[in-house]
Amino acid sequence: MRVTFGQSYIDTAVAVNAASERLAATEQQVSSGRRIDAPSDDPAGTSAVITERASLSQLDAYTQTADAATSRLTVIDTTLTDIIDKITAAQSAALSARGSAKTQSERDAAATDLQGIVDALVSDFNAQFHGVYLFSGSATTTSPFVKSGAVVSSYQGNSSISAVDIATNRSTGVTVDGGQISQGGDTSDVFTVLASLTAAVRSGDDAGIGQGIDALGRALDRATFAQTQVGTGLKALDDARAQLSRLRIDTASRISKIEDVNMASAISQMTQADTSYRAALAAFSKIGSLSLMDYLK
């Protein structure tokens, strides 16, 4: 079959365009370092990348939640340290007023110290983080205790704990049941104990002072136990963040393997495409220089 001049010209031009597109594509891969720039480049790969990026977003969300939870538990831990210090100080003040040799001035001074400790403890139990009460259980908009004059209310929160997800099927508490610390299984909460203890100190009631010191000891145990639990939660958050970091690295690596180009292979393909393009141009140039008489010979 005889090939006409026009057909040869068209075929060569098509070859030039195809070679040019291949060269442009390989140059784009080398310059961007990406194998997939559009879904059409690799539909299956694009679908896999979408799935992996969704996982990456979830991991980032968990990490942000873990960071926020750590900040909140750190505040709780610091506050519990202060609560423990205040209860210990109350025990020391009561002990300093115990015994028949103590003067009224000494007992009054100890009672004044105890009243100051009550105010400090109310402030501690009413600690907030970003407008959220930390010691009200899940009733985070409710102040745990309200002080009116010299009287402190009973616990106003609840026994539920607010929790947040820090991984799939894994959560951690970010609030505390203040009632469990202030009273627990005792018949009176720590503020009632301190009120009775203050009265006993002023009157020199050694038996009452002893009872108050014992009750404060139980409150101290509850606060210490709560702080231990918070410490466990902080350790769990550290472990969770480390795991999330590893998962993120693995996910990012899988995305890179799908999206990113093998640079050595891409450069080789670009070189081959450039050679093919130059050859196509040379062939097109040769055809363009031929005259009709050359085809008729």
For 169-182, write each residue's pLDDT tens digit.
889 999 999 999 99
For 64-79, write each residue's pLDDT tens digit.
999 999 999 999 999 9
The yes-or-no verdict on residue 152 having pLDDT over 90 is yes
DSSP characters for the chain?
A: -PPPHHHHHHHHHHHHHHHHHHHHHHHHHHHH-BS-SSGGG-HHHHHHHHHHHHHHHHHHHHHHHHHHHHHHHHHHHHHHHHHHHHHHHHHHHHHHT-STT--HHHHHHHHHHHHHHHHHHHHHHT-EETTEESSBTT-TTS-S--EETTEEPPP-S-S---EEEEETTEEEE-S-BHHHHHTTTSSS-HHHHHHHHHHHHHHT-HHHHHHHHHHHHHHHHHHHHHHHHHHHHHHHHHHHHHHHHHHHHHHHHHHHHHHB--HHHHHHHHHHHHHHHHHHHHHHHHHHH--HHHHH-
Average pLDDT over residues 270-290: 60
Average pLDDT over residues 108-123: 97
For 130-146, write each residue's pLDDT tens digit.
999 999 999 999 999 99
Mean pLDDT of the chain: 84
Average pLDDT over residues 204-220: 97
For 182-203, write each residue's pLDDT tens digit.
999 999 999 999 999 999 999 9
